[in-house]
Each structure stands twice: as C-alpha cells, then as structure tokens.
C-alpha cells in the first residue's frame, strides 16, 4: 500500500514539474554586472523559438534606481527569440533586476533575478589644477535673446485680431443669413417652402392679385434656374419654353410635353394679370395655384436609373416592332 502511495506521489510530482520542464529554456544575459554612474548595459531575455510568447513590460526596482533607456523590438536569431532592453542608473549602489514574468500558452514563467553594481566616478582633486576666477564676460546678443519680445508681439497681435473680429468686423445682416440658409435647401424643397409661405401671405385675398402672380411665377422661374440651369428669370415666356424644349432638358422630365404646356398657359395668364391688368376670379386663382404644384412636380428631373430603364424599354419596344 505504501508503495502505491509513493508511486502516486511520484507521478503527481512529475506533472507539477512538467510546466517548468516543458518551457525551461529561459536565459538572461547582460553585458556586465558592474557599471559606473550613467553607463548603459544591455539586458536580454532569451527563449527557445515558439509561438504565443508574451514578454513583459520590464519591471525594475520599486525605488527606480535603475532606468530603462530603450525597449527594443523582439528579434529572432538561430531559433532563439530575444527581447532586449538598454538599462542605466544614476545612483551608486547594488540594485537587483527582479524576476520577469513571461507568458507562454496561458502559463507564467519567471526569469532569475540579477544584481547590478553601480559605482561612482572617482575624481582625483590632487591632480586637477586650480585656476583663478575669471571676470564677468559679456556675451554678444543673438536673435534668440529677442525671441521672448517677439512672442509678446505675436500675442498682442492675436488679441488685436480677436478684438477686431468680435467688435469691428462687418456682421451679417438678417437678409444675408437667410440667403445662406436658403442656399443650403435643395431647389425642389425650397420651391415647396416658398409656395407654402406665399399661401400664408394671402395676397390675392387682400386684392393684391398682381403681386400674387408675380411671386408665384418667380418661384417657378427660380426653381428652373437652380434645378435645370436655364436662365428663367431673364427670359420671356416664349424664350423659356423654347429653352426647356432642348434635348438636354426634355430628356430629364417624365412628362415634358404635358408639363411644358401647363407651364406655358400659367405664364401667359400671369403675363396678362401683370401687364394687361386682367383680374381672374377666385376659382381661377385657386386652379392656377393647384396647377403650380403639378408643374413643379413635372419639372423635377427623373433619376438617372429611371431614365436609363425608360430608354432601354424604348429600345426593346423598337426592336420588337422591327
């Protein structure tokens, strides 16, 4: 029975020692263990080449007698992986580099600690000659000596610019701010917004029929200029309709023939109101307003994908007819 127990303990001992044996090839090296204050040494951790190795951030003594000058990238030489650090010290004494923890396949292994002796630099005062105290020397002034004054100047200039910007610059008027806001709205959405604002003014209800038709047609002309790039505001009714009948514009519209006919009628009616003093009745004005929405929707360019599909369908129809 005792033999079985001893045999079991032996097996358990083997398994407990297995992680150490399985990854025991850890080596630490230094150029030397004795330096003078300010000198540098290289500290290396060397392991057998393998995957999933995680080197530590170098841990030194808690009082920071030793300092890391440089942390090098991992290097591989002859199936060895090397992690190198350059270390120095500015205190004299004997200081230890403590054991470092290395992670390998979710297991932690420790290196050995190593002691570094840091000696002071001996100065032989008996061999150092003494010299008399020199008189005060006046150095020649350079541009750097005036640098501070330049910074003061730049700082003052910056404040002047800020004061001018806040108090004296030309501020935007309400009209300019509104114009910038309007410029950011898409043409179709802007036209719909302006038509809604025109309805709220109730111009024709207050016997301002001429002003109403003038704003109504200006909204359409302004939309045509922005969306279709046609000089509508400067064109007569005939010139505008002819410009919209060009191939470049015609192909952009879904129902160009019907839309341009309605636009032509509305513009002619508006011209009669503005220049011939014609006075349409309320039902006619409401109808013209309704037609404006239809015309605006008809002047909205169709999407490129829809246009290409329409052209392909026309080509297929012509091919079938042939």
What's the confidence (pLDDT) of residue 309? 55
- Helix, strand, or coil here: 281? coil
Give the predicted TM-score (pTM) of the model. 0.45
CA dihedral 145, 150, 153, 158 (to 10 degrees): -140
Q: Who has greater pLDDT, 63 or 293?
A: 293
Measure the CA–CA gap between 315 and 310, rounded to whole angstroms.
9
What's the confidence (pLDDT) of residue 14? 40
Q: Who has greater pLDDT, 123 or 278?
A: 278
Helices (H) and strands (E) in the chain, counts: 10, 11
What's the confidence (pLDDT) of residue 124? 63
C-beta of residue 223 within 8 angstroms of C-beta of residue 187:
yes
**What does the mean pLDDT of the chain come to?**
79
What's the confidence (pLDDT) of residue 308? 53
What's the confidence (pLDDT) of residue 23? 44
Q: What is the mean pLDDT of residues 163-188?
A: 78
| Selection from 108, 110, 88 nearest residue 99 by Cα | 110
| Selection from 301, 295, 121 nearest residue 221 by Cα | 295
Work out the percent of the chain whose per-residue pLDDT is above 70: 80
Tens digits of residue pLDDT in 114-140: 888 988 876 666 666 667 888 887 777
Measure the CA–CA gap between 175 and 145, rounded to whole angstroms.
52
What is the end-to-end Cα distance of the chain in Å, rounded?
105
Q: What's the CATH architecture for 2-119?
A: Sandwich (2.60)
Tell me the pLDDT band of 102, cut-offs 50, 70 and 90. confident
Structure tokens at 166: 């806040």
Tens digits of residue pLDDT in 10-45: 444 443 333 333 345 778 888 888 888 888 899 888
Measure the CA–CA gap between 191 and 298, rounded to whole angstroms.
13
Predicted confidence (pLDDT) at residue 6 exceeds the cutoff of 50? no
Work out the percent of the chain whose per-residue pLDDT is above 90: 24
Taking the CA atoms of 190, 192, 194 and 196 in sequence, report the sign of the dihedral they define.
negative
What's the confidence (pLDDT) of residue 126? 64
| Selection from 156, 155, 277 nearest residue 209 by Cα | 277
Tell me the pLDDT band of 192, cut-offs 50, 70 and 90. very high
């Amino acid at each position: 029975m005792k033999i079985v127990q001893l045999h079991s303990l032996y097996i358990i001992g083997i398994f407990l020692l297995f992680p150490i044996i399985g990854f025991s090839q850890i080596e630490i090296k230094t150029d030397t263990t004795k330096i003078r204050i300010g000198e540098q040494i290289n500290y290396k951790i060397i392991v057998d080449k393998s995957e999933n190795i995680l080197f530590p951030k170098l841990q030194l003594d808690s009082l920071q007698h030793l300092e890391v000058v440089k942390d090098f990238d991992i290097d591989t030489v002859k199936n060895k992986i090397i992690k190198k650090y350059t270390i120095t010290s500015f205190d004299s004494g004997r200081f230890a580099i403590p054991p470092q923890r290395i992670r390998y396949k979710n297991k932690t292994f420790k290196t050995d600690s190593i002691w570094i002796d840091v000696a002071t630099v001996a100065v032989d005062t008996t061999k150092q000659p003494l010299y008399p105290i020199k008189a005060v020397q006046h150095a020649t002034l350079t541009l750097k000596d005036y640098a501070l004054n330049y910074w003061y100047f730049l700082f003052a200039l910056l404040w002047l610019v800020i004061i001018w910007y806040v108090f004296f610059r030309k501020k935007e008027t309400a009209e300019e701010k509104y114009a910038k806001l309007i410029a950011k709205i898409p043409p179709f959405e802007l036209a719909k917004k302006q038509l809604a604002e025109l309805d709220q003014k109730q111009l024709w209800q207050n016997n301002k029929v001429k002003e109403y038709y003038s704003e109504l047609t200006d909204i359409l002309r302004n939309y045509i200029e922005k969306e279709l790039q046609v000089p509508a505001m400067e064109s007569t009714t005939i010139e505008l309709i002819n410009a919209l009948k060009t191939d470049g514009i015609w192909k952009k519209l879904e129902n160009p023939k019907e839309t341009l006919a309605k636009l032509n009628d509305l513009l002619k009616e508006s011209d009669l109101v503005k220049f011939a003093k014609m006075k349409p009745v309320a039902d006619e004005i409401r109808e013209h307003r309704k037609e404006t929405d239809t015309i605006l929707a008809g002047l909205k360019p169709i999407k490129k994908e829809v246009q290409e599909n329409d052209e392909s369908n026309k080509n297929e129809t012509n091919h079938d007819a042939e």
